[in-house]
Structure 1
Amino acid sequence: MEDTVSALRSLMVSHSPPLDALVVPSEDYHLSEYVSARDKRREFVSGFTGSAGLALITKKEALLWTDGRYFLQAEKELSAGWKLMRIGEDPAVDIWMADNLPKEASVGVDPWCISIDTAQRWERAFAEKQQKLVPTSKNLVDEVWINRPPAEINAVIVHPVKFAGRSVADKLKDLRKKLVHEQTRGIIFTALDEVAWLYNIRGSDVAYCPVVHAFAIVTSNSAFIYVDKQKVSVEVQTHLVENGIEIQEYTAVSSDATLLATDELDAVSTAKAALAETEARKIPSEIDKSVNGEHQAEENSNDLIWADPVSCCYALYAKLNPDTVLLQQSPLALAKALKNSVELDGLKKAHIRDGAAVVQYLVWLDKKMQDIYGASGYFLEKDSVKKEKHLQSLKLTEVTVSDQLEGFRASKEVELTEQLSIYLDMLFLEKILLKKKKW
């Protein structure tokens, strides 16, 4: 880790302007807490493997901020060259930088990895000493990460309406109504769960999270998704195009944000042209257009662009005119939280399937404990005399019983992720322990 920090300090010195400090957040370009292997930059730099934290490298110090979940873990994983900063006990990172860095210090950060809200809060903290936040053109950690894991090409899949409960067209219609209500003409989505929910797609780009690395921009007339096209099958392409969504390369979101700022994005949309041709055949009335939220640009004279200050990265915000940006919580936050009848039914069925698998597993475990160890049965008491068998060959471990439980779950209609499985196991054990306490 010391070599990595030294290499970063060399890049800080040669950077223009030279950097007095470098911030390495945990988040990826979508500000996710849980990230793919190639986006674990803070872990690579510090050696700390927790999901939440922030590393700060100055000319002489290396500090790591994390929350109470990880204090003990960080103490064990950080090397002697690092100082643990406990959130809630030590000064917040912006306060520490403002107080400890010199006047007019330059603090570097990858603008793709911090939110609008965070960047603006830091800039306010820096104002008194004329310190400045410097967005780096490249991620300096990537420059020194020689064996950085490659990007994985995981297929995008369509999330059927029979599970989603709402069509993409219906979601876009409601979204465009909200755009009109807030007097905006476009919105940028960077949060992976919001892109997946809005366009009814799923993926496996992040372990245990069914999401796709993708951005989205929706205007009064057009809709775009920015994703590695190698991940898009013919089925997914058809699904997106039929819903008026134009597929762009992942990196094109930066230039398209610039076009959005100048109100030129709709003009380059091929999907818009195709959709317009389809709509022309339907000859919708002006009333229908108003109800559907399909207002033409000239009908919506508003010039604001909507961006969620907490979930939108600072890099895309910097492409916009700050005077024409509506900084407000994403309209999808509440929409995602309000589950429709199909989603509620799916949740109930998931619990029933998993409950059946857990009971099946517990009966299996109970029998194995009797057969192998001669333990008293919790569910069933065998009539035969229990005999202890060869423990070395038949010994149960956390791994073997976990694999068996996964096998039971996989045999059901829909397999749960390992992360959810662990949670449900813990929930069951908690109930058992509470029951034993009453005894």
Structure 2
Amino acid sequence: MFQSFESHSNPAQHIPRLAALRGELASRGLDGFIVPRADAHQSEYVSPRDARLGWLTGFTGSAGFAVVTPERAGVFIDGRYRVQVKAEIALDHFTPVPWPEVKAAVWLREALPQGGRIGYDPWLHTRREIRELEKGLAGSGLALIAQDTNPLDKIWTDQPEAPVGRVRLWPDDIAGETSAQKRGRISAKLRDAKAQAAVLTLPDSISWLLNIRGADVQKNPVVLAFAIIEHDGHVAVFTDPAKFSPEVRQALGNEVSILPLVALTPALTNLAGPVVVDPGSAPDQVFSLIESMDTLIDESLDPVIMPKATKNAAEIAGMRAAHLRDGAAVAELLCWLEARAPLLETEPLTEIGIARKLEELRSARGILDISFDTILGSGPNGAINHYRVTEATDRRILPRDIVLIDSGGQYDDGTTDITRTLPMGDFDPAIRRPYTRVLQGMIAISRARFPRGVAGAHLDALARAPLWMEGMDYDHGTGHGVGAGLSVHEGPVRISRVSEIPLQPGMILSNEPGYYREGEYGIRIENLIVIEPAHSPDGRDMLGFETLTFCPIDTRLIDPALMSSDEIAWLDAYHAKVRELIGPLVAEDVRDWLIAATRPLGAAA
């Protein structure tokens, strides 16, 4: 079983942990401490050893942080988690704080008197993050104090060991380049920038650069490690050497050294400058160690991150192939669910039952792992953006329920992420309007054509405009980057209000507008898309999107009267492509369902 459905911890058990942390802070002369969700690599998904925020507070979301003082304990969460957090934390001891509306510095100014000392673990915060916090605290009399050891680790007596997942090779034909070629490209960038070396701290950057995959973090096939790439192309990797088999070491060759993690500090303090370090992703401590020797630092973007985000033809081909197998599996699930809907009264079905069925169908298609915990929310659970079903929250599917299924898989040639929303039998016709508006937003992104230089922030409003006309919106980004056989959430490119990085051909993004009515239902429709050159009659340098995901979009919830002829034409053409590509991959009964589910919208209405 890929996904664990164990129940969340009892909120009450976190109260003594909070008391113990306060005691440890007092012994260190600290008046506060910041507990981030991230690990030393700023990972969205962390290993059990690094799940400090969850251990302390009970909050299990993939983004957020806590700030603890003697009198207050704030859990800072964005709009995706404001429903979820209330069910997971002890509200009489922890207080949800709406973030980023409320900044940590503002909260600390109110919570602590002048002279307050706030501790932080410099391995768990980026240099940019610490600078912004220092700027926010300027003039307050409050001081940030880096800690040599994490006080939370001191009280976490049964903290799990660091993961030692085995490393495997990622085939060159799927990567489209050898590791040596990639290292040559990156080292040439360093030479052009007159840099001697670059420090890499993002596990997916290191995994991509070396054409390796790991097993340190469930669902994300990356190797937890640090690395230094020099201007001559040599790479030193700092992690547990036991992860690397003789076969992998031999394939990497003599230009890649595997060193224990304890060797990182002396390596950083012996670098010749300038050294490229990314202030947006590298730990504050990495900067401090290099600065301790007065070595010149070039604060620039991780040199691997943009080449990794811009997929080559082989990577895109692998992603296309993975999405066809995945689309077939999801189509099989949707067919199965439609057949089960009339039987819900006599043959009970739950959220976990659906999630397990989907894993079974994906397993038959060669899945290596799921790419994230399946978000399977029925009825009111669907309104929780990143709902994670557990044995305690598992809800029986009821007639007239709206079910939201956001899921994905890791295959041997690519990574998938898809969301579909469907009714279980009859439904309240009032849902047709918001569902159609969400679909229109998804179609608007799919059809977008834009000049080179446009960023995700410029496109985000296209997805929201149909909802805005109804006075509606959603509290998450419209799209995130996706790795090729790597992390399902990949930086730095997004479709969101704050993403200013220009979009480039080869970048793969999700396209997932939504609408959520608390206590009732959630709607989200998601395909993955890849940026490609687009035709312009004026000869302009234009870009557009190729859709990678092929699986029916439920038409029962659509109000065709709200849609334009162009939107209907796009949906009908998309469904024709679904029939063409997915039909041959499924059994006859599923193919019959597929034909009915994808008939032209005029005929379906």
Match of 2:315 among 334, 340, 343: 343
Match of 1:235 among 235, 247, 259: 247
- Give matches, 1:386-405, under 5 Å: 391=346, 395-405=348-358
Q: Which amino acid aligns with 1:408?
A: L
**RCO higher in structure (CA 8 A, sep ≥6):** 1
CA contact (8 A) 1:409 1:415 kept: no
Partner of 2:31: 20
Q: Which runs of 5+ in 1 are unaligned?
A: 264-302, 376-387
Say which SS state the counterpart of residue 318 (structure 1) adopts.
Answer: helix
Distance 2:207 2:109 in 1: 38
Seen in structure 2, the aligned counterparts of structure 1 residues 435 and 14 have a Cα distance that, compared at 3 Å, is same
- Displacement of 1:26 after TM fit? 0.8
- Displacement of 1:43 after TM fit? 1.2
CA contact (8 A) 2:278 2:301 kept: yes
- Give matches, 1:67-86, under 5 Å: 67-79=78-90, 80-86=92-98
- Displacement of 1:367 after TM fit? 5.6
Partner of 1:411: 364
Q: Which amino acid aligns with 1:324?
A: L
Coordinate RMSD, CA, aligned: 2.4
Q: Which runs of 5+ in 2 are unaligned?
A: 1-13, 375-405, 408-416, 423-524, 526-551, 560-604
- Does structure 1 residue 120 correspond to structure 2 residue 90? no
CA contact (8 A) 2:219 2:372 kept: yes
Seen in structure 2, the aligned counterparts of structure 1 residues 100 and 397 have a Cα distance that, compared at 3 Å, is closer
Seen in structure 2, the aligned counterparts of structure 1 residues 64 and 147 have a Cα distance that, compared at 3 Å, is same
Distance 1:5 1:363 in 2: 48
Q: Is the deviation greater in 340-349 or in 248-257?
A: 248-257
TM-score (norm 2): 0.58
Distance 2:350 2:16 in 1: 39
Say which SS state the counterpart of residue 111 (structure 1) adopts.
Answer: coil
- Displacement of 1:145 after TM fit? 0.8
Q: Percent of aligned pairs with the same residue?
A: 31
Q: Which amino acid aligns with 1:312?
A: A
- Displacement of 1:432 after TM fit? 4.4
Say which SS state the counterpart of residue 153 (structure 2) adopts.
Answer: helix
Distance 1:93 1:19 in 2: 17
Q: Which amino acid aligns with 2:19?
A: S
- Displacement of 1:153 after TM fit? 2.4
Seen in structure 2, the aligned counterparts of structure 1 residues 416 and 46 have a Cα distance that, compared at 3 Å, is closer
Partner of 1:381: none
Partner of 2:257: 246
CA contact (8 A) 2:332 2:361 kept: yes
Match of 2:151 among 140, 155, 159: 140
Distance 1:136 1:88 in 2: 25
Alignment deviations for residues 229-275 of structure 1 (CA, whole Å, 9 cap, x no partner): 12111111112234x10000123212211122xx3xxxxxxxxxxxx
Q: Which amino acid aligns with 1:343?
A: E
Distance 2:354 2:19 in 1: 45
- Give matches, 1:157-306, under 5 Å: 157-221=168-232, 222-242=234-254, 244-260=255-271, 263=272, 303-306=273-276
Number of residue pairs aligned between Structure 1 and Structure 2:
375
Distance 1:360 1:228 in 2: 41
- Displacement of 1:81 after TM fit? 1.1
CA contact (8 A) 1:53 1:65 kept: yes
Distance 1:23 1:314 in 2: 14
Alignment deviations for residues 185-224 of structure 1 (CA, whole Å, 9 cap, x no partner): 1111111111111111111211211111111111123310
- Displacement of 1:366 after TM fit? 5.2
Partner of 1:437: 558
Say which SS state the counterpart of residue 46 (structure 2) adopts.
Answer: coil
Q: Greater helix percent: which structure?
A: 1
Say which SS state the counterpart of residue 253 (structure 2) adopts.
Answer: helix
Partner of 1:11: 24
Say which SS state the counterpart of residue 319 (structure 1) adopts.
Answer: helix
Partner of 2:105: 94
- Does structure 1 residue 427 correspond to structure 2 residue 420? yes
Alignment deviations for residues 327-349 of structure 1 (CA, whole Å, 9 cap, x no partner): 11112221011110100100111
Distance 2:191 2:172 in 1: 26
Distance 1:75 1:199 in 2: 42
Q: Which amino acid aligns with 1:342?
A: A
Say which SS state the counterpart of residue 372 (structure 2) adopts.
Answer: helix
Distance 2:295 2:112 in 1: 30
Seen in structure 2, the aligned counterparts of structure 1 residues 72 and 358 have a Cα distance that, compared at 3 Å, is closer
- Structure showing greater radius of gyration is 1
Partner of 1:359: 331
Distance 2:357 2:364 in 1: 11
CA contact (8 A) 1:98 1:125 kept: no
Seen in structure 2, the aligned counterparts of structure 1 residues 432 and 129 have a Cα distance that, compared at 3 Å, is closer
Distance 2:89 2:339 in 1: 44
Partner of 2:479: none
Partner of 1:378: none
Seen in structure 2, the aligned counterparts of structure 1 residues 367 and 124 have a Cα distance that, compared at 3 Å, is closer
TM-score (norm 1): 0.79
Distance 2:239 2:288 in 1: 21
Distance 1:240 1:55 in 2: 40
Distance 2:288 2:76 in 1: 26
- Displacement of 1:412 after TM fit? 2.3
Seen in structure 2, the aligned counterparts of structure 1 residues 3 and 313 have a Cα distance that, compared at 3 Å, is same
